[in-house]
Structure formats: C-alpha cells, structure tokens
Amino acid sequence: MKLPSQNPTKTKAWKALQEHFSAIKNQSLKDLFVSDSKRGSELSIKWEDFYVDYSKNIIDTTTKRLLLDLAKEVGLPQAMESYFAGETINATEGRAVQHVALRAPKGKTITIDGVNIVDEVAQVKEKIKGFTEKVISGTHKGYTGKAITDIVNIGIGGSDLGPVMITEALEHYKNHLKVHFISNIDGDHVHQNLKKFDAETTLFVVVSKSFGTQETLSNAITARKWFVEKAGGSEAVSKHFVAVSSNVQKVTDFGIDPNNIFPLWDWVGGRFSLWSAVGLSVALSIGFEQFDELLAGAHDMDEHFKNTDFEENIPVLLGLLSVWYNNFFEAETEALIPFNQYLHRLPAYLQQGIMESNGKGVDRNGDTIDYQTGTIIWGEPGTNSQHAFFQLIHQGTKIIPTEFIGFKKSLFGDKEHHDKLMANYFAQTEALMNGKTQEEVLAELKEKNMSQDQIDTLAPFKVFKGNRPTTSLLIEKLTPKSLGKLVAMYEHRIFVQGIVWNIYSYDQWGVELGKQLASNILSEIDANKVAEHDSSTTNLLNEFLN
C-alpha cells in the first residue's frame, strides 16, 4: 500500500487552522492560564515515567482539535499502519522502514518479503550479546594475550552520531572500557586519536552500512595500517577489527574476518540504526543487558505511539505542535534544551534525525512544495545555554519554540545541585511565557535609587514581551530505558511531521550528492589538474594546489 499523498495546505483542517491562527496568534499565554485554572493538567500527558506539559504553547482546545483533524485528513492513521506493517514506505529507495523491529520483543512477527525480521534481529542480538560479554569480561584477548581496554568506533553520520550520543548519555552506566569515536575524514582527527591507543588492547569497530563511505573507509585503512605496523603483521587483525555492515562482500574484501561481521539490513536507515549492531560500541560500553533496556524503552514508546489515542499521543501531539509553529507562526527554528549534561550530544544527534529526514522540498507526488517543511533544530544543555544564547530566545525578534528536557532525579543524588539545576528549568519556561511588563520594570527600577530620567531611558531595554512558547518534558530519571523512550519519541515525531508535510522522510539524496561531488574534485586534486568550475571554485582549488 502506498503512503497517502495529500497536500496539507489543501485540506479543510488547514484552512480552518489558518482562520483560527489569525484569531489566536496574539493571544496572551498568561491570560489563557488565568482564564482556565486547569490548563496545566488539561494540556499535559502522564505516561509511564514521562510527564509532558505542552500547556505553555500558543494553542487552545480548538487548535488541538484542528491539528488532530489535519493529522486525520492527511491520512496519518493509515500511514502508521503501513509504517508498522513493514511496507515499503521509503519509496524513493524501495525500502521498508523498520527500526521498530530492532526493538520488538522476541516472538513478535514483522514480515518483510516473507521473512520474519524479528527472528533475524534476535540472531544478531545473540551475536552482540556473546561478543560484548567476551570483550567486557576480558575473555576476548588481543594479539599479545591482553584484555581489550579501548573500543574505537569508526563510522560517520548515522554510523556515528547515535552511538556517540547514547554512549555519552549513559556514561554513568558504563563499565571499564573506554570508548572513542573517529568519524571525520580530517586526518588530524584520526592521527590525534591513534596517539592515545595501545594496539595490544584496542578493538576497532568499523561501522558502515554500505561499507562504501569514503570517510569511514579512509579512517579504517589508516587505523589498520597503524595497527599492522604496531603488531608487526596482519595476522592479528581479526582479533582487533570487527565490522557492522550490510555489505558482507566489501567488508571481507577490506580484510575483516567474515566471522567478525555484525549484519545490518537495508530496512534500517542510517540515522535510525543505533538500535541495531550499529550500537555495538554502546553495548560494549554499558553491557548487553543495559543495551537491551534501551531497546525495551524504545519499544514501550513504539507501543505508546501505535496504540494511544491521538489526543494523548506524545509523538503525534508534539509533532503537530512543530507543524503549528513551522507553518502558521513561520518559526524558523526550534531549540532543544536538555537540563542534563549527559545529553549534550542529543541536539546534534537530532539535527541529523530531524533535518536529514524532513529537509525535503518535493512532495510524495514528486511535485515541488510551496509550504515550509523540515524544522531547523539546535540547542545545548541548560543551564550553560542560559549564559549564552537564551538572550535571543527571551528578547530577540524571532519566535523560537523551545523544548525543555529535565529529570526528577539526578544520577549521583546530589540534591543541592539538582534542585538548583531544576529551579532554572522551571524558572525559564515561566519567564519565557510571562516576560516582564513595563510596570514591573518601572517598579523594579524605582527601588534602585535612580533618577526618573535614568529609569525612563533604561526601562524599554528591560521589558520582556514574553509569550514565548515552551514544552516541558519531565522524566523520572535518566536511565537506558527512559533514554530509549525519549529517542524513539523523536523518531516517531519525525514520521508524523513527514506524513503531514507529504514528504518522504527516509531518503537523503542531499547527503548522497555530497558524497559524489567530493569524489569528483578529489580526482582533480589527485591529478593536480583543475577542471572547469565557476571562477570562485577554480581559484580556491588553484590556491590549494599551489
């Protein structure tokens, strides 16, 4: 079954939303709270260990109803059926999109081309389990009989960002293994890293779905060369190099033992692959059981998304809110602020997930789109970001819907620190909504023993308009399971938004283009001969070559 294809702007709900938008766009959030004392609980969802409060958004019950109408009118329910059934919803690449199968419990059936992929996933998980146990326990020895101490993940994009983000996020849960990531083709990056390793105790995990990515292959070749030099030969490569890939032939040609290959399937998109063997470095770092907890959390969110009424469905509602700001308020970006240092790579990870998936300008009929799609995501942890770019969110000229992620409990249990951190989390959303009126500013300045002239001059700069929308996610504690839920929530939101915008979220032709362009220019650099380009590129290349 094909995904439904409906231009969202031609729906009844969209037209109704446009009219409604004119009426509500200047609505004061503060007033909405005054007029409805239950707003906070009406526009929030309690689900398992998540509390999602979306009441500080410029919406009312009509907005919510119309957004839900839009979801139905563009065929979200049918699209979800296709998504969960393993249909070929990545039509431009002719693939199913089944990261949900990677975390489906054993015994479930999801069939692609007559094969129950849940069984295939279970086999690879067994392999991950066996291997990680051996490495962690020290049974897997390096070429001189020493246990492995350092894991080096070599991969880029989807084969790097997820594993890095999760490893950092779950640092508290990790074991003795030190995990490193080499991604950039920048030789300084790989050489700087290699200096840190001891060949006898280092395990390289080369992650590339295609095993054709220039960065990863170059870095893997450099690492292998370094290793062979240190080990005095290539016999020991099999003890120190494993690969995660769907291209067995290419991995074998590269010289990695076929027994050391952790397979991957074409129905797993790179940016959704951390749940597969691409997460091997995560499993090595936190152990298989906790890796499985991460998957279990994601599965819980899959079930929530699949089975919950849209009215209470977290990915559906948050996805629709994004559409509301993107397409009606014309918000240019969205900020994501985890009040948690461990999650410092979450915004970067989601930049890929969200922007690579929904940064599309052609709809599912192949027609050019004349409305806005993919949102721009950015962010840094709080409270650091408060001392940096929050100024613009508070007083700048742009509307930036901001998402706050906080946890009730800290991991080390230092209550004093945690209370201070969370006080900021709460205070910021309140301040962004309430702002500060001229009267408040004047009253504040009057206390300061200033002349009336000084007060009048300074007052306008200290006024905050407020009405800046925020959504708060308050989660019990950062654990492998809750992290799995959180990441899966964003994945499903990407799907929801892609369906509303009538785009294909699971291809990435822009990324493929980059891969081709660089290889053409590299042949010119290799031949020391610049072909015909625009005068800017020609000059730059000549400057580089001279």
CB of 126 to ligand G6Q, least distance (A): 23
CA angle 151, 163, 339 (to 5 degrees): 120
Cβ nearer to ligand G6Q, comparing 146 with 515? 515
Cβ nearer to ligand G6Q, comparing 90 with 373? 90
Is 133 catalytic? The answer is no
User: Is 170 strand, coil or helix?
Assistant: coil
Among 159, 183, 322, 386, binds ligand G6Q (CB under 6 A): 159
Q: Which stretch binds ligand G6Q (CB under 6 A): 35-43, 71-79, 151-159, 422-430?
A: 151-159
Among 75, 157, 338, 382, binds ligand G6Q (CB under 6 A): 157
Q: Does 482 bind ligand G6Q (CB under 6 A)?
A: no
The tokens for 129 are 């389990």
Cβ nearer to ligand G6Q, comparing 356 with 491? 356
The tokens for 2 are 């094909």
| DSSP state for residue 412 in the 8-state scheme | S
Among 55, 82, 202, 213, binds ligand G6Q (CB under 6 A): 213
CB of 257 to ligand G6Q, least distance (A): 20
Q: 85, 98 in Cβ contact below 8 A?
A: no
CB of 256 to ligand G6Q, least distance (A): 14
Q: Does 158 bind ligand G6Q (CB under 6 A)?
A: yes
Among 98, 208, 326, 502, binds ligand G6Q (CB under 6 A): 208
CB of 514 to ligand G6Q, least distance (A): 9
Q: Which residue is nearest to ligand G6Q (CB)?
A: 157
Cα distance between residue 463 and residue 395, in whole Å: 8
The tokens for 487 are 């990441």
Residues 262-321 touching ligand G6Q, rule: CB under 6 A, are: 269-271
Among 55, 167, 216, 428, binds ligand G6Q (CB under 6 A): 216
Q: How far is CA 27 from CA 224, 305, 433, 470, in A?
A: 61, 31, 12, 15
Is 515 catalytic? The answer is yes
| DSSP state for residue 374 in the 8-state scheme | S
User: Could you tell me which residues come within 8 angstroms of residue 19 by beta carbon, excluding any fewer than 6 positions away?
Assistant: none
Cβ nearer to ligand G6Q, comparing 270 with 287? 270
Tell me which of 168, 356, 380, 403 is the catalytic residue.
356
Cα distance between residue 273 and residue 125, in whole Å: 13
Q: Does 210 bind ligand G6Q (CB under 6 A)?
A: yes
Q: Does 340 bind ligand G6Q (CB under 6 A)?
A: no
Residue window 243-272: x/- pattern of binding to ligand G6Q, with contact defined by CB under 6 A = --------------------------xxx-
Q: Does 132 bind ligand G6Q (CB under 6 A)?
A: no
Q: 342, 168 in Cβ contact below 8 A?
A: yes
Q: Does 98 bind ligand G6Q (CB under 6 A)?
A: no
Strands 115-116 and 111-112: antiparallel
CB of 505 to ligand G6Q, least distance (A): 11
Radius of gyration of the chain (CA): 26
Residue type, 320: L
Cis peptide before 216 (omega within 30 of 0): no
Q: 486, 403 in Cβ contact below 8 A?
A: no
Cα distance between residue 197 and residue 204, in whole Å: 11
Cα distance between residue 262 and residue 207, in whole Å: 9
User: Is 27 strand, coil or helix?
Assistant: coil
Q: Does 508 bind ligand G6Q (CB under 6 A)?
A: yes
Cβ nearer to ligand G6Q, comparing 520 with 536? 520
Is 387 catalytic? The answer is yes
Cα distance between residue 339 and residue 404, in whole Å: 7
Catalytic residue positions, numbered = 356, 387, 515
- Interface residues with ligand G6Q (CB under 6 A) are 156-159, 208-210, 213, 216, 269-271, 356, 508, 511
